[in-house]
Chains A and B, each alone.
Chain A
Amino acid sequence: MSKRQLAMVMDLNKCIGCQTCTVACKTQWTNRNGREYMYWNNVETYPGAGYPKNWQELGGGFDESGELKEGIIPNLEADYGVPWDYNYESLALGETMTPNVEPTWGPNWDEDQGAGNFPSDNYFFYIPRICNHCSNPGCLSACPRDAIFKRDQDGVVLVDLDRCQGYRYCIAGCPYKKVYFNPKISKSEKCILCFPRVEKGLPPACAQQCVGRIRFVGFLDDPESQVHKLVHKYKVALPLRPDYGTQPNVYYIPPTEAPPKFDADGKVIEGSDRIPMEELEKLFGPEVHRVVKTIREEREKRRKTGKSEILDILIAYQHSEMFRLDNNYYQEVAKSKGLDAVTPVDTRYIKGAHTKTISHFSVAGGHH
């Protein structure tokens, strides 16, 4: 456990699957240097196989007794999909447009397919996913090199690229499959929660760019943060697959708004849930029943009285309220470490460079 924990809340009622977050992340971090296939942020359609393919079936995380479970490292061609490109240059010479690799799978291969029969009971919704920066990370627990650490000052989980030897146990250990192997540097990489931005008071790129304004970012222990209010005060935001036992710090407002189902004659079935509650329970745990009820009640309350703090937060009026990153906090951390304003407050991810002595030996082992 870190001293403080940054968290993100995503309102799934408002996600339109536009992938602006995905693009923001990709252009910022993963369009180069062996990361081309990676999506530190992706938006997948549920129900669907997701990205990497069938990630929920690939193991990792902890069992009920707290034991790390075995996991499977996804295959790049079959499960992630090799990024392909077209022969644009040759089109002028009369060639037909062909991809340079046979596309077999990709991050949005089953986008918008969903389940059920149109129009009676078909449904789908979007789940944007980033690294959960877990309080009990499976990746960190799986690493035999102490190459993954959780920052004390904000709980961001990072890979120390000087210690990482590319064994990929972290990928097997992460039940969300949000650690990726970079074949170019032969080391593992993952979402860094845009910590260089966060330290300067800016939200992660995915949250900043979100056109639906579905993402709230802040410290969980900051009572003024909307993240705190949604997770702890109103308890309407839930982690994804809490049964994996990693204690994720990305929370979701479950999708509550969907039209009712239609019967064979095309008539509305009153009170029916188009999105099956059992599916939501699988994703967000048994708490989801209470949360869905609360959100619906709050919506009614707002409709009737015009008042509901939960709805006011979820409407997301101001970026300044959605993101409370407390710039002064990081400046204080830097100051307490005797660092100047430009240096990142934690440079453990490059520790080990040019060393003549053993750089690491945390006696506690496993947690820094």
Chain B
Amino acid sequence: MKKLALSSAVAGLLASSLSGANIVASKVEHSLKDISPLSPLWYEAKLVVIPVYPQTTIKLNDKIANELNSHNGSKNIKVKALYNDKEIAFLIKWKDKTLSIQKGYRSDSFGDGVAVQFPVNYSNPDKLPYIGMGSEGREVLIHLQKAAPNTYEPNGHGDVAHQVNRHNTNYFGEDLAKFDSEVKDIAVVDYERTFISAGFRSMTEVKDGSVDSNMEMMYNITKGCWKSTLSRPLKDEYLNLDSPAFPVAFAVWDGDKRNRDGLKLLSGWNSVQLEGREGGDKLVSALNDEVKGDVANGKVQFQTNCAACHNTKDFNMAPPYMAPNLSNIGGQATVGYLVESIKEPNAVVVPGYNRNAHKNTPWYNLENGKRVSAMPPFNWLDDKTLNDIVAYLKTLKADEEK
């Protein structure tokens, strides 16, 4: 009975007005393969503003980077989407005052970047993959583009002759110049990568060319703004986006602040609706509806029930690595995820947490080869309390960066 009552409470949470960012993809007849950020087709698409928030769940160990990112605010990125019968394309624009391209012969230089994430399965909008690169049993596909110089494959595709240092060759003058240019020819010019992932530790690059996508990045110096595009098939062996609506998430990295990996700005799951198709309302509503609840009471309840382990911008009582830091949870987590995680912490155990780095605060224990969250289930909370806590959690997000 209790379970039933609680699920009706969840439904209650969602039945309110639309507020978030729903991307409507306009239909075009043209091919979208390799569409560039400058294509005139983008004039036909509707622009949606999507806030991206600093990833603060886990803090990593680069001292300088942590100092540079300690006061990050959120940013608003602008997104457009187009689709045709076979393909879908996104245009992503975001402000970044500093153009950072990972510099060649340097040890501590990082490039700007952008990524687009899709859930492999989105049939149940309340059980989407964990926003931080998926979770066990809930996989995601990620497209990444970074501003990086020419890179090389570690094994140089087995071509040993061109991995020799130019000073160790027998070449001089013209022959050496020829050698240099041959080496340059085998470089990877475009740092575009696709990953499958079930949690940020498990991220695995798809290297066999089985994802037919293209990303581009262009920087506008006068506007201090990046423009990036992704084009990919609506359907391939990893994803099926050929439905009325599906979720998508975005992340941007600022190389100037030594951003990479978890040091980034990340959106929550946003809905994409394919214009002219019926359905998908359940997903759109799950991702966009505002929670109506008593935020002040939620804050009190959070302090009582949660603040001993979870730090937020309001509470800093817990030891630093005790549990995920929730300072930006409201910007990144869906209502469904929050409700699920409070009642059933084992449903998603943040899988990438490196217990060896923080031995005193294991976020999970291993029982019979499974991760069991260190957090006890709070399924005894009454509906109103749960609702108020979720309403409070949804307010937890960084202010916009000035």
Residues on A lying within 8 angstroms of B by beta carbon are 31-34, 36-37, 59-60, 65-77, 79-80, 82, 85, 89, 136, 140-146, 161-163, 165-169, 171-173, 180-181, 183-187, 350, 352-361, 363-367
> How many whole Å from B300's CB to the nearest CB in chain A?
31
B205 and A366 form a contact (CB under 8 A): no
B151 and A186 form a contact (CB under 8 A): yes
Q: Which residue of B lies closest to A366 (CB)?
A: B356
> How many whole Å from A7's CB to the nearest CB in chain B?
21
Q: Which residue of B lies closest to A365 (CB)?
A: B355
Residue among B156, B199, B204, B210 with the most chain A CB within 10 A?
A: B204
Q: Does B360 contact A (CB under 8 A)?
A: yes
Measured between beta carbons, the chain A residues less than 8 angstroms from B139 are: 358
Measured between beta carbons, the chain A residues less than 8 angstroms from B210 are: 356
Give the residue of A60, A144, A187 whose beta carbon is less than 8 angstroms from that of B200.
Answer: A144
B202 and A366 form a contact (CB under 8 A): no
B207 and A354 form a contact (CB under 8 A): yes
Q: Does B33 contact A (CB under 8 A)?
A: no
Q: Does B17 contact A (CB under 8 A)?
A: no
> How many whole Å from A149's CB to the nearest CB in chain B?
12
Measured between beta carbons, the chain B residues less than 8 angstroms from A142 are: 60-61, 354, 357
A33 and B360 form a contact (CB under 8 A): no
Q: Does B370 contact A (CB under 8 A)?
A: yes
> How many whole Å from A266's CB to the nearest CB in chain B?
47
Q: Compute how far the CA of A184 lies from the CA of B206 in the bound complex, rounded to whole angstroms.
A: 21
**Given known A144-B352, A184-B152, contact A358–B168 (CB-CB < 8 A):** no
> How many whole Å from B355's CB to the nearest CB in chain A?
5
Q: Compute how far the CA of A89 lies from the CA of B63 in the bound complex, rounded to whole angstroms.
A: 44
A358 and B167 form a contact (CB under 8 A): no
A173 and B61 form a contact (CB under 8 A): yes
Q: Does B201 contact A (CB under 8 A)?
A: yes
A183 and B354 form a contact (CB under 8 A): no
Q: Does B107 contact A (CB under 8 A)?
A: yes
> How many whole Å from B180's CB to the nearest CB in chain A?
13
> How many whole Å from A196's CB to the nearest CB in chain B?
14
Extra contacts, 20 of them, besides A144-B201, A356-B206 (Cβ < 8 A), are A32-B163, A33-B152, A33-B156, A59-B63, A66-B359, A68-B356, A69-B61, A70-B61, A75-B106, A76-B107, A142-B354, A143-B354, A161-B154, A168-B260, A172-B61, A181-B108, A183-B103, A186-B148, A355-B205, A355-B206
The interface bits of chain B over 174-215 (1 if a CB of A lies within 8 angstroms of the residue's CB, else 0) are 000000000000000001000011111111111110100000
B106 and A183 form a contact (CB under 8 A): yes
Q: Does B164 contact A (CB under 8 A)?
A: yes
Q: Which residue of B lies closest to A171 (CB)?
A: B107
Q: Does B353 contact A (CB under 8 A)?
A: yes
B151 and A185 form a contact (CB under 8 A): yes
Q: Which residue of A lies closest to B200 (CB)?
A: A144
> How many whole Å from B220's CB to the nearest CB in chain A?
25
Q: Compute how far the CA of A359 lies from the CA of B60 in the bound complex, rounded to whole angstroms.
A: 23
Measured between beta carbons, the chain B residues less than 8 angstroms from A358 are: 139, 196-198, 202, 204
Q: Compute how far the CA of A105 lies from the CA of B102 in the bound complex, rounded to whole angstroms.
A: 22
A185 and B62 form a contact (CB under 8 A): no
Q: Compute how far the CA of A364 lies from the CA of B202 in the bound complex, rounded to whole angstroms.
A: 12
Q: Does B170 contact A (CB under 8 A)?
A: no
Measured between beta carbons, the chain B residues less than 8 angstroms from A31 are: 165, 168
Residues on B lying within 8 angstroms of A by beta carbon are 60-64, 66, 102-108, 136, 139, 148, 151-156, 163-165, 167-168, 172, 191, 196-208, 210, 237, 260-262, 321, 351-360, 366, 369-371
A67 and B359 form a contact (CB under 8 A): yes
> How many whole Å from B257's CB to the nearest CB in chain A?
14
Closest 3 CB pairs of A and B: A366-B356, A68-B357, A70-B63
A186 and B106 form a contact (CB under 8 A): no
Give the residue of A65, A166, A363 whose beta carbon is less than 8 angstroms from that of B369.
Answer: A363
Q: Which residue of A lies closest to B139 (CB)?
A: A358
Q: Which residue of B lies closest to A85 (CB)?
A: B167
Q: Compute how far the CA of A93 lies from the CA of B107 in the bound complex, rounded to whole angstroms.
A: 36
> How many whole Å from B208's CB to the nearest CB in chain A?
5
Q: Which residue of B lies closest to A89 (CB)?
A: B172
Q: Compute how far the CA of A289 lies from the CA of B201 in the bound complex, rounded to whole angstroms.
A: 43
B355 and A359 form a contact (CB under 8 A): no
12 A–B contacts from the bound complex (CB under 8 Å): A60-B61, A70-B63, A72-B64, A73-B107, A82-B105, A89-B172, A141-B354, A142-B60, A171-B107, A184-B151, A358-B139, A358-B197
Q: Which residue of A lies closest to B261 (CB)?
A: A167
> How many whole Å from A53's CB to the nearest CB in chain B?
12
A76 and B106 form a contact (CB under 8 A): yes
Q: Compute how far the CA of A163 lies from the CA of B261 in the bound complex, rounded to whole angstroms.
A: 13
**Given known A352-B204, A358-B139, contact A187–B154 (CB-CB < 8 A):** yes
Residue among A33, A71, A75 with the most chain B CB within 10 A?
A: A33
Measured between beta carbons, the chain B residues less than 8 angstroms from A60 are: 61
Residue among B105, B155, B164, B199 with the most chain A CB within 10 A?
A: B105
> How many whole Å from B320's CB to the nearest CB in chain A?
9
Give the residue of B106, B155, B199, B207 whose beta carbon is less than 8 angstroms from that of A361.
Answer: B199
Give the residue of B108, B152, B207, B360 whose beta carbon is less than 8 angstroms from that of A73.
Answer: B108
**Given known A163-B204, A169-B261, A358-B198, contact A67–B357 (CB-CB < 8 A):** yes
> How many whole Å from B238's CB to the nearest CB in chain A?
8
> How many whole Å from A350's CB to the nearest CB in chain B?
8
Q: Compute how far the CA of A136 lies from the CA of B356 in the bound complex, rounded to whole angstroms.
A: 8
> How many whole Å from B205's CB to the nearest CB in chain A?
7
**Given known A32-B165, A85-B167, A359-B204, contact A74–B154 (CB-CB < 8 A):** no
A80 and B204 form a contact (CB under 8 A): no
> How many whole Å from A280's CB to the nearest CB in chain B?
28
> How many whole Å from A181's CB to the nearest CB in chain B?
5
B356 and A367 form a contact (CB under 8 A): yes
B64 and A73 form a contact (CB under 8 A): yes
B202 and A165 form a contact (CB under 8 A): no
Measured between beta carbons, the chain B residues less than 8 angstroms from A365 are: 201, 351-356, 371
**Given known A146-B201, A161-B154, A365-B351, contact A141–B148 (CB-CB < 8 A):** no
Give the residue of A145, A168, A350 whose beta carbon is less than 8 angstroms from that of B62.
Answer: A168
Measured between beta carbons, the chain B residues less than 8 angstroms from A366 are: 354-357
B202 and A32 form a contact (CB under 8 A): no
Give the residue of B108, B201, B358 whose beta carbon is less than 8 angstroms from that of A145.
Answer: B201
Measured between beta carbons, the chain B residues less than 8 angstroms from A181 are: 107-108
Residue among B61, B197, B351 with the most chain A CB within 10 A?
A: B61
Measured between beta carbons, the chain A residues less than 8 angstroms from B105 are: 37, 76, 82, 183
Q: Compute how far the CA of A65 lies from the CA of B319 in the bound complex, rounded to whole angstroms.
A: 13
Q: Compute how far the CA of A355 lies from the CA of B151 in the bound complex, rounded to whole angstroms.
A: 20
Q: Compute how far the CA of A71 lies from the CA of B366 in the bound complex, rounded to whole angstroms.
A: 29
**Given known A33-B163, A186-B151, contact A168–B357 (CB-CB < 8 A):** no
